[in-house]
Amino acid sequence: MEKLLGEFSFGLFIWQTLIVVCLLLLLRKFAWNPILNAINDREEGIRSALQSAEDARAEMQNLQADNVRVLKEARAERDGLLKEARDIKQKIIDDAKDEAKTQAAQIMKQAQVAIESEKQAAVAELKQQVAFLSIEIAEKVTKETLSDDKKQTQLVEKLLKDVNL
Amino acid sequence: MRKKQLISAIFFVLSAFFAQAVEVGPEDEEKTGDLKSEIKAYIRHHLEDTHDFSIGSYTTDAGKKKYIGFSLPVILWDDELVSFSSGKLKHGKSVHKAGSKYYKLYHGKIYRTDAEGTITYGAGKKVTNDKPLDLSMTKSVVTMLFTAALMFFLFRSLANSYKTNGSIAAGVGRFFEPIVIYIRDDIAIPNIGKKHYRKYMSYLLTIFFFVWFLNILGLSPLGINVTGNIAVTFGLALLTFLITNLTANKNYWAHIFWMPGVPVLMKIVLAPIELLGLVIKPFSLLIRLYANIQAGHIVLMSLIGLMFIFNNWLGSSLSFVLAFAISIIEVLVALLQAYIFTMLSALYFGFAVEEHEEAH
């Protein structure tokens, strides 16, 4: 210990402290701070570059997913549209059929009505004709001045036979 | 003598560029002649801080000791500021007159003496001469200044490279940037927490690189031992201590003086223990760094010295291999000790700013 203290040089200690403190202050200002800042900035730069690359990748993936989704949607929509079109077609056909049916029915009905009315008219005319014939027959009968009943009946029958309904 | 020349020759070759030999007369002290004690003295001398930047020394054939290196300024506070070149002290071989006072270097320390340079001893061979306050630019100070300048240059260029190179480190910064990030992510944030770590980062980075660079420089053949000097590690630990306690929150002090969640009697017993811990923590820091680096230098130099003691092919080459292996380990230790110092500092800062949700 005594030898250690004997070796201790106060002057060297003063110089050493002075040199190290000056060196510390100088280097801090001119070297360490610029170096550490530069390294930090560079690391930050690398980190943010990596981050943005990662972000871009994620965005790309999102975009791709979006594309797939859009494609799927489009496909679904197309299918929907086709189905709808098919439905509409069917409906139009059905509608047309119905329409035709009702139309036909109506026409039939009208025809029947017309037939009926024609028939009525014919019947009426027939009746008229019958009446007219009856009158004619009656006229002829009366004209012939009937001798007997037998002849009268024969005549009526013959006349009726002539009448063709 | 031939062996001694060999030791010095290694340093001599390395320092041929700035050879500035100082010639000194025949040495009188340390002339024991014994190789072992010579190596011992050499190691001791190496571990000490010196007033001149000597890279090595050798003895000429004429018996003159020559030093290779350069002088550094000596600054003393002795009622007034005294300053002169360390070359004037001639490695303790001569007395220097500055103003009206005389100074002599004796075992690495500067004493005030009379004109003849008499050193007086008191009890237990203690020097009783007056010692002026020594604020010299010693070898360690110069090395630290160099390290500080190097660090400033390196990290300033790293900071600038971000601006000019689009937020990417360029050049040598590419090597240091991962270390800075490591200190942030694996030392500061886990120990201090994300909320507070930023304000301690400057200190942690500064001491890590400062200690590391100095440890590495200490392994260079220049033979510098800065972080193995107790004054340096004390200064570093003191800074950690001051920063810890000056930035500590209420919680930290509550845990020291009035530990929550224990009986009153325990609180009274715990307070002095915790208070002691306050000092022991940075003390362990300063001793750990000092002892590790000091020990590494001693082992390494002893192994190199062993080569000259063995003085045969087998023993010397074995010592060389060992010294080589230890050198590699020491390079790791240099890093490890810097890491541990930084890590523990961060841990203490973490205690200081820790926030407890619930009392425990």
* Complex prediction ipTM: 0.81
The confidence score (pLDDT) of residue B202 equals 93
pLDDT in tens, B216-266: 998 888 778 888 888 999 999 999 999 999 998 888 888 888 878 888 888
| pTM of the predicted structure, to 2 decimals | 0.74
Chain B hits for A8, CB-CB cut-off 8 Å, are 230-231, 234
The mean pLDDT of A46-64, rounded to a whole number, is 95
**B205–A27 CB contact, under 8 Å:** yes
N- to C-terminal Cα distance for chain A? 165
Are B254 and B210 contacting, i.e. CB atoms less than 8 angstroms apart?
no
Say which residue the tokens 């500064």 belong to.
Answer: B206
Give B251's contacts (C-beta < 8 A, 6+ positions apart). Answer: B354, B355, B356
pLDDT in tens, B95-126: 887 777 888 887 778 888 877 777 778 777 77
Q: State how far the Cα of A147 lies from the Cα of B142, in Å rounded to an integer.
A: 187
Interface test with B, best of A27, A33, A41 (most B CBs within 10 A): A27
In single-letter form, the type of residue at position B345 comes to S
Furthest CA-CA distance within chain B: 78
Strands B65-71 and B52-59: antiparallel
A51-55, A135-139, B197-201: least confident range: A135-139
pLDDT score of B26 more than 70 = no
Name the pLDDT band for B53 (thresholds 50, 70, 90). confident
Q: Does A15 touch chain B (CB under 8 A)?
A: yes
Q: State how far the Cα of B260 lies from the Cα of B359, in Å rounded to an integer.
A: 6
Interface test with B, best of A15, A26, A46, A48 (most B CBs within 10 A): A15
Q: Does A33 touch chain B (CB under 8 A)?
A: yes
Q: Whole-number mean pLDDT of chain B?
A: 82
What is B286-343 written as a DSSP string? HHHHHHHHHHHHHHHHHHHHHHHHH-SHHHHHHHHHHHHHHHHHHHHHHHHHHHHHHH
Chain A hits for B230, CB-CB cut-off 8 Å, are 4, 7-8
- A44/chain B closest Cα distance in angstroms: 12
Helix, strand or coil, per DSSP, at residue B55: strand
pLDDT score of B81 more than 80 = yes
The confidence score (pLDDT) of residue B154 equals 92
**A30–B159 CB contact, under 8 Å:** yes
**A7–B207 CB contact, under 8 Å:** no
Q: Which ranges in A1-148 belong to alpha helices (H)? A: 2-7, 10-27, 33-144
The confidence score (pLDDT) of residue A153 equals 80
**A38–B159 CB contact, under 8 Å:** yes
Are B346 and B207 contacting, i.e. CB atoms less than 8 angstroms apart?
no
Interface test with B, best of A35, A36, A40, A41 (most B CBs within 10 A): A35
- B325/chain A closest Cα distance in angstroms: 29
Name the pLDDT band for A164 (thresholds 50, 70, 90). low
Q: Measure CB to CB from residue A39 to each of B156, B181, B229 and give the nearest one.
A: B181
pLDDT in tens, A67-76: 999 999 999 9
Residues B111-119: contacts with CB under 8 Å, at least 24 apart: B112/B78
Q: State how far the Cα of B142 lies from the Cα of B72, in Å rounded to an integer.
A: 9
Burial class (CB in 10 A: 0-12, 13-18, 19+), B54: buried
Q: Measure CB to CB from residue A20 to each of B134, B168, B210 and give the nearest one.
A: B210
pLDDT score of B6 more than 60 = no
The confidence score (pLDDT) of residue B16 equals 39
The confidence score (pLDDT) of residue B82 equals 82
Name the pLDDT band for B357 (thresholds 50, 70, 90). low
Q: Does A18 touch chain B (CB under 8 A)?
A: no
Name the pLDDT band for B10 (thresholds 50, 70, 90). very low
Chain B hits for A33, CB-CB cut-off 8 Å, are 202
B66 pairs with which residues across the strands? Answer: B23, B58
The mean pLDDT of B278-282, rounded to a whole number, is 91
The confidence score (pLDDT) of residue A144 equals 66
Q: Measure CB to CB from residue A32 to each of B49, B140, B201 and give the nearest one.
A: B201
Chain A hits for B205, CB-CB cut-off 8 Å, are 27, 32
Chain A hits for B184, CB-CB cut-off 8 Å, are 36, 39
Give B354's contacts (C-beta < 8 A, 6+ positions apart). Answer: B193, B249, B251, B252
Size of interface A-B (CB pairs under 8 A): 122
The confidence score (pLDDT) of residue B138 equals 87
Percent of chain B with pLDDT over 70: 89
Chain A hits for B136, CB-CB cut-off 8 Å, are 11
Secondary element (H or E) of residue B133: strand B133-134
Percent of chain B with pLDDT over 90: 34
Secondary element (H or E) of residue B109: strand B109-113
Chain A hits for B198, CB-CB cut-off 8 Å, are 36
Question: Which of B37-41, B124-128, B212-216, B309-313 has maximum average pLDDT?
Answer: B212-216
Residue count of chain A? 165
B81 pairs with which residues across the strands? Answer: B77
Q: Does A39 touch chain B (CB under 8 A)?
A: yes
Helices (H) and strands (E) in chain B, counts: 10, 9
**A28–B202 CB contact, under 8 Å:** yes
Going across the sheet that includes B81-85, the strands are: B81-85, B73-77, B133-134
Q: Regarding predicted confidence, which is higher, B172 or B54?
A: B172
- B298/chain A closest Cα distance in angstroms: 16
pLDDT in tens, B296-331: 999 998 998 888 888 888 888 999 999 999 999 999
**A35–B159 CB contact, under 8 Å:** yes
Q: Regarding predicted confidence, which is higher, B157 or B104?
A: B157
Chain B hits for A16, CB-CB cut-off 8 Å, are 140-141, 144, 231-232, 235-236
The residue of chain A nearest to residue B210, with distances taken between CA atoms, is A20
